[in-house]
Amino acid sequence: MLATFTALPSAFIAFTTSVRANQSNAYLPHSRDRYKRGLEVLNKIAGAGTDDSTFISLRVFSPDLVRFYIEQSYGDIFSRPGLDLKYREIANVATLTVLGNAQTQLKHHINGMFNVGCTPQEVLETILHVIIYRGFPATQNGINVVREVFRERNIVTNIDVAQTEQDESRYQRGIKNLEEIVGENSTQIAEQFTDIAPDLAHYIIEFAYGDIWSRPGLGHKSRAIASVAALTAIGNQQSLLKFHIKVALNVGCTQQEIVELLMQMSVYVGWSAAITSTNIAQEVFQEYYQQQQNYVESNFAVTKYTTETSQVRYERGLDTLGRVTKASGEAVVRSFNDILPQLGRYIVEFAYGDIISRPKLDLRTRQLATVAALTAIGTTAVQGPLKVHINGALNVGANTQEIIEAILHMLPFAGFPVVQNAINTAKEVFKERNLTV
- Average pLDDT for 283-290: 87
Using alpha carbons, select from 143, 177, 97, 173 the residue that is nearest to residue 343: 143
- 159 confidence band (pLDDT: 50, 70, 90): low
> What is the rounded average pLDDT of the residues 39-48?
87
Averaged pLDDT, 405-423: 95
- Burial degree of 180 (CB within 10 A; 0-12, 13-18, 19+): middle
Q: What average pLDDT does this structure show over 219-237?
A: 95
Distances (CA, A) of 294 to 178, 215, 253, 285, 348: 21, 32, 20, 14, 45
Note whether 109 and 96 are within 8 A (CB): yes
Q: What is the 3-state secondary structure (H, E, C) of the chain?
A: CHHHHHCCCHHHHHHHHHHHHHHCCCCCHHHHHHHHHHHHHHHHHHCCCHHHHCCHHHHHHCHHHHHHHHHHHHHHHHCCCCCCHHHHHHHHHHHHHHHCCCHHHHHHHHHHHHHCCCCHHHHHHHHHHCHHHHCHHHHHHHHHHHHHHHHHHCCCCCCCCCCCCCCCCHHHHHHHHHHHHCCCCCHHHHHCCCCCCHHHHHHHHHHHHHHHCCCCCCCHHHHHHHHHHHHHHHCCCHHHHHHHHHHHHHCCCCHHHHHHHHHHCHHHHHHHHHHHHHHHHHHHHHHHHHHHHHCCCCCCCCCCCCCCCHHHHHHHHHHHHHHHHHHHHHHHHHCCCCCCHHHHHHHHHHHHHHHHCCCCCCHHHHHHHHHHHHHHHCCHHHHHHHHHHHHHHHHCCCCHHHHHHHHHCCHHHHCHHHHHHHHHHHHHHHHHCCCCC
Under the banding of pLDDT at 50, 70 and 90, the label for residue 288 is confident
Q: Picking from 58-62, 264-268, 363-367, 381-385, which range would have the lowest pLDDT averaged per residue?
A: 58-62
The closest of 340, 346, 343 to 317, measured between CA atoms, is 346
Q: Once rounded to an integer, what is the mean pLDDT over residues 75-97? A: 96
Question: 22-36 pLDDT, tens per residue?
Answer: 444 443 345 678 889
What phi and psi values does residue 122 have, to the nearest 5 degrees? Answer: -65, -35
- What phi and psi, each to the nearest 5 degrees, are found at residue 410? -80, -10
How sure is the predictor about 190, in pLDDT bands with cuts at 50, 70 and 90? low
Residues 146 and 128: their CA atoms lie apart, in Å, by: 11
Is residue 238 within 8 A of residue 281, CB to CB? The reply is no
Angle, helices 266-294/255-264, rounded to nearest 10 degrees:
160
Segment 312-341, tens digit of pLDDT: 998 999 899 999 987 766 777 788 888 998
pLDDT for 97-145, tens place per residue? 999 988 989 999 999 999 999 999 999 999 999 999 999 999 999 999 9
CA–CA dist 84, 79 (Å, integer): 9
Distance, in Å, from the CA atom of 282 to the CA atom of 267, rounded to the nearest integer, reads 20
**Tens of pLDDT along 244-260?**
999 999 999 999 999 99
Residue 55, pLDDT score: 64
Position 19 scores a pLDDT of 41
Query: Does position 379 have pLDDT exceeding 60, yes or no?
Result: yes
Residues 6+ apart with CB under 8 A from 151: none
Distance CA 11, CA 8 (A): 8
